Amino acid sequence: MSDTTVLDVLMYCGAGTVACLYYMVRGYLTSRGIVDMPLSTIAASAQGPVAVQGKAYAADSGSLKAPHSGRPCVFYNIKVEDRNGNDSSSVLEYSSKNLFILRDETGECQIDPSNARLFKDAMQQVFWSGKFNKEAKKDGSLCFVSNPPMTEVDKLEQRQLDTFLVSSGSNYFFTESIIAAEQVIYVEGFKDQNTIRQAERVELHRECPFIISSKDKDALTKNQSSISFWAFTLAVVSIAVGSAVYILSHGNFDEKILTLLANLF
């Protein structure tokens, strides 16, 4: 095995280990934060950091329609990725800003989804891809459908996304995720009056994250714990592969492996 090949393998293993450790820590901290935040009913929830779950409903202004599929919903998210072979990079992500209602057996409150961290695993999703240009707009497939009244900022963001979709000359992969009416969701955030949103004070963002999940609290906790566990497992595998390649490429296998074991234990 050439030195260049060994170096490439070690670099990939090192990068993989760092990435796995990042997701391990992130998953662990997220799961611990969810567990430590007591779940409250909406009627009993106080002002400040809260965690509630219930069914989502459209606000008085009416339900939304997802931009691509036209499916009725109370919230949607569009993610655009540039995919080249096995590589992909996020180009643009947009979420609806319209308030919606969260209701449980004790009462209801409003959810302002702006700047929420989304867990979309259980959201209803539609995927599509293609090479888009101005001609694509003729059939209306990429035009935004009619929605309830929005702020000027929302309208501007939607126009920018619409323009991007129809003017691009590259191959892109799109994911449309929605929260349907009456879907059970879990929300963790800052309650101000009767609206749950991201805390305005930046210093509260770490201790009071703003989460919207299409899984309930227990399922989300298990999901994040599982991510942390498998990220740790992959990190160990990556370290083991890198160590084995390094030892084999430098000869003296028995001596090297004994030295490595001695250092570990």
Residue 167 within any structural domain of the chain: yes
Residue 258 within any structural domain of the chain: no
Q: What pLDDT, on a 0 to 100 scale, did the predictor assign at position 252?
A: 53
Q: How confident is the model at residue 155 (pLDDT cuts 50, 70, 90)?
A: low
Cα–Cα distance, 116 to 197 (Å, whole number): 8
Q: How many domains does the chain have?
A: 1
Residue 183 within any structural domain of the chain: yes
More confident call, 150 vs 36: 36
3-class secondary structure per residue, 203-250: HHCCCCCCEEECCCHHHHHHHHHHHHHHHHHHHHHHHHHHHHHHHHHC
**pLDDT per residue as tens digits for the range 164-196:** 555 555 567 778 888 988 899 999 999 988 899
DSSP string, 49-77: EEEEEEEEEE-TT--EE-TTT--EESEEE
Give the domain range for residue 198.
Answer: 38-220
Q: What pLDDT, on a 0 to 100 scale, did the predictor assign at position 168?
A: 52
Residue 255 within any structural domain of the chain: no
